[in-house]
């Protein structure tokens, strides 16, 4: 483990926190943990993701050639190397249990708790890590009082783990493991920041939340990286965001209260709490939201529901967008950015690549610089990568407009005729990837992501040079292309 932090008591009733033990520059590792305390995949990911490297070794390689464990057939691996690694780490202890349970597969939390119980039973944890884990908050009292279903899930999981593991530990003690997992775990993500499972390490769990966070979390396989979003002076507390901090104040407070049992008093919350629009503090089940924003949030939720088809989602999202526009809600105010994210997702699933590109271009140029002011923010970097990939796709002439209207389309449900603008995608690709590679030192993305971007940029650059062009002197041309692609879809 490499860290530039030290644990210490935190002010404002935050228990313990991590503090910078030296000055940390933007993009530097605050904390790097090569081995998890526990990390397991979501059930659907067991099928398509290696349980040994969590996809790190087959990054960018979509073809699924994973081989299942011959014992339990529950977990899959790239090859013998990944299998041996996981076997040694924990799978040798759980494989027999998985076999007994066939064809049932334990829910993710139960698989994680089982792993921790089995590994601690075999004394596979370093004493220091285990001690830190045992010190973590459980909030069992609050869970029992305020969240009946969560408590039932935790105790059911404890019962199952006790039965299957044959451990001497008491159910109550196993329940505490489950509660600690609920409160202290991170979303395990892949190199492009999609959730693939759950991760916990007690050292990382000491990091407190702030909506005005100064550090961000990322994963490269099973390695955890916490990077500084801006310079952090020695002695300052490290903060990450446990939730989507772009949401309005009442939404954030409700989420933090319901899931983590605390009230956030960060600088951002203090400012927004005293602002007139959020005068009354949020109480459970009662959000003080502007009625237009509330309506748009409801539409967004219905569009994201699994019962909604992509076509339906697109039209719901379009009407929500119109609603926000009509009421002059800025495109940087939630739920506008989330609506745009969803518009991109449903356009992609319907093969409307030009729509997706137009929204991704607006997101890159207009929304993200205000919503994520730090250029190194992983979400901003990821959005740039999505845009570059879309431009690469379109430049290869894959997308054919299905629109029959021909004219410039206003509604998000229709395909936008980008070809009318004769956009030179190569220049856009070069400028987006070039900016990512150029800002690499201050970027808070994981090494796997950065390597992928670098390789793509080298390809594009080589193509330019092969064509006798050097885009480094084409600053003006790049500006013109941006103007064209945005002119296709203005709002
Ligand atoms: Zn692997
Ligand atoms: Zn197995
Ligand atoms: Zn806050």
For ligand 1, the distance from its centroid to the CA atom of residue 165, given in whole angstroms, is: 26
pLDDT for 390-405, tens place per residue? Answer: 999 888 865 444 443 3
Q: Is the pLDDT of residue 369 over 80?
A: yes
24-33, 277-286, 340-349, 431-440: least confidently modelled range: 277-286
Range with the largest mean pLDDT of 36-40, 65-69, 352-356: 36-40
Structure tokens belonging to residue 148: 């009946």
pLDDT for 112-125, tens place per residue? Answer: 999 999 999 999 99
pLDDT band at 284, cuts 50/70/90?
Answer: very low
For ligand 2, the distance from its centroid to the CA atom of residue 74, given in whole angstroms, is: 6
26-40, 204-218, 343-357, 422-436: least confidently modelled range: 422-436
pLDDT band at 336, cuts 50/70/90?
Answer: very high
- CB proximity list for 114: less than 8 A, separation 6 or greater: 94, 97, 106, 161, 164, 165
According to the model, what pLDDT value does residue 491 have? 41
Eight-state DSSP code of residue 283: B
- CB proximity list for 184: less than 8 A, separation 6 or greater: 136, 137, 200, 202, 205
For ligand 1, the distance from its centroid to the CA atom of residue 99, given in whole angstroms, is: 21
Task: Point out the ligand nearest to the CA of residue 61.
Answer: 1
Beta bridge partners of 197: 41, 188
Q: Average pLDDT in the 3-12 region?
A: 92
Q: Average pLDDT in the 369-393 region?
A: 95
pLDDT for 162-178, tens place per residue? Answer: 999 999 999 999 999 99
Q: Answer whether 265's CB lies under 8 Å from 12's CB.
A: yes
Boundaries of every domain in the chain: 37-200, 243-278, 290-350, 363-491
For ligand 2, the distance from its centroid to the CA atom of residue 423, given in whole angstroms, is: 52
pLDDT for 127-156, tens place per residue? Answer: 999 999 999 988 999 999 999 999 999 999
d(CA 44, CA 42): 6
Average pLDDT, the chain: 89
d(CA 46, CA 254): 32
For ligand 2, the distance from its centroid to the CA atom of residue 72, given in whole angstroms, is: 4
3-state secondary structure of 105: coil
Q: Is the pLDDT of residue 68 over 50?
A: yes
Q: What is the dihedral of CA 308, 312, 315, 316, to 10 degrees?
A: -30
Provide the 10 A C-beta neighbour count for residue 188: 25
According to the model, what pLDDT value does residue 22 have? 98
For ligand 3, the distance from its centroid to the CA atom of residue 381, given in whole angstroms, is: 24
pLDDT band at 6, cuts 50/70/90?
Answer: very high
Q: Average pLDDT in the 378-385 region?
A: 97
According to the model, what pLDDT value does residue 424 have? 80
pLDDT for 408-429, tens place per residue? Answer: 334 444 565 555 556 788 888 9
Task: Point out the ligand nearest to the CA of residue 111.
Answer: 2
According to the model, what pLDDT value does residue 483 have? 79
Residue 474's H or E segment, with its range, is none
């Amino acid at each position: 483990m490499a860290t530039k932090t030290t644990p210490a008591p935190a002010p404002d009733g935050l228990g313990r926190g991590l503090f910078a033990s030296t000055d940390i520059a933007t993009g530097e590792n605050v904390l790097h943990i090569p081995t998890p305390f526990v990390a397991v995949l979501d059930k659907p990911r067991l099928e398509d993701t290696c349980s040994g490297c969590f996809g790190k070794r087959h990054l960018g390689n979509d073809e699924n050639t994973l081989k299942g464990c011959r014992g339990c057939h529950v977990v899959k691996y790239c090859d013998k190397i990944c299998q041996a690694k996981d076997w040694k780490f924990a799978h040798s202890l759980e494989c027999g249990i998985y076999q007994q349970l066939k064809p049932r597969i334990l829910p993710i939390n139960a698989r994680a708790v089982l792993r921790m119980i089995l590994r601690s039973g075999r004394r596979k944890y370093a004493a220091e890590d285990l001690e830190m884990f045992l010190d973590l908050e459980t909030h069992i009292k609050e869970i029992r009082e305020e969240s009946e279903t969560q408590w039932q899930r935790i105790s059911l999981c404890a019962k199952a783990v006790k039965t299957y593991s044959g451990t001497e530990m008491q159910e109550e003690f196993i329940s505490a493991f489950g509660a600690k997992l609920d409160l202290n775990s991170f979303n395990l993500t892949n190199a492009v920041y999609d959730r693939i499972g759950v991760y916990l390490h007690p050292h990382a769990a000491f990091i407190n939340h702030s909506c005005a966070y100064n550090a961000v979390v990322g994963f490269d396989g099973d390695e955890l990286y916490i990077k500084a979003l801006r310079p952090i002076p020695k002695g300052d507390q490290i903060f990450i965001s446990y939730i989507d901090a772009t949401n309005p104040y009442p939404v954030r407070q409700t989420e933090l209260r319901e899931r983590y049992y605390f009230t956030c008093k960060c600088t951002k919350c203090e400012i927004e709490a005293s602002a007139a629009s959020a005068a009354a503090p949020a109480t459970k089940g009662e959000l003080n939201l502007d009625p237009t924003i509330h309506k748009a949030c409801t539409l967004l939720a219905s569009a994201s529901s699994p019962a909604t088809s992509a076509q339906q989602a697109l039209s719901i999202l379009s009407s929500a967008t119109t609603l926000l526009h009509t009421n002059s809600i800025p495109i940087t105010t939630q739920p506008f950015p989330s609506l745009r994210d969803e518009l991109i997702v449903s356009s992609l699933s319907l093969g409307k690549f030009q729509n997706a590109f137009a929204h991704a271009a607006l997101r890159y140029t207009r929304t993200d610089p205000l919503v994520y002011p730090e250029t190194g923010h992983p979400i901003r970097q990821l959005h740039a990568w999505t845009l570059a990939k879309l431009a690469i796709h379109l430049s290869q002439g894959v997308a054919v407009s299905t629109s029959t209207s021909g004219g410039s389309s206003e509604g998000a449900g229709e395909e936008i005729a980008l070809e009318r603008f004769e956009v030179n995608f190569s220049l856009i690709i070069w400028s987006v990837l070039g900016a990512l590679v150029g800002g690499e030192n201050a970027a808070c993305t994981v090494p796997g992501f950065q390597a992928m971007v670098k390789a793509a940029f080298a390809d594009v650059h080589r193509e330019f040079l092969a064509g006798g062009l050097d885009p480094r002197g084409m600053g003006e041309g790049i500006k013109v292309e941006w103007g064209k692609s945005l002119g296709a879809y203005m709002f």
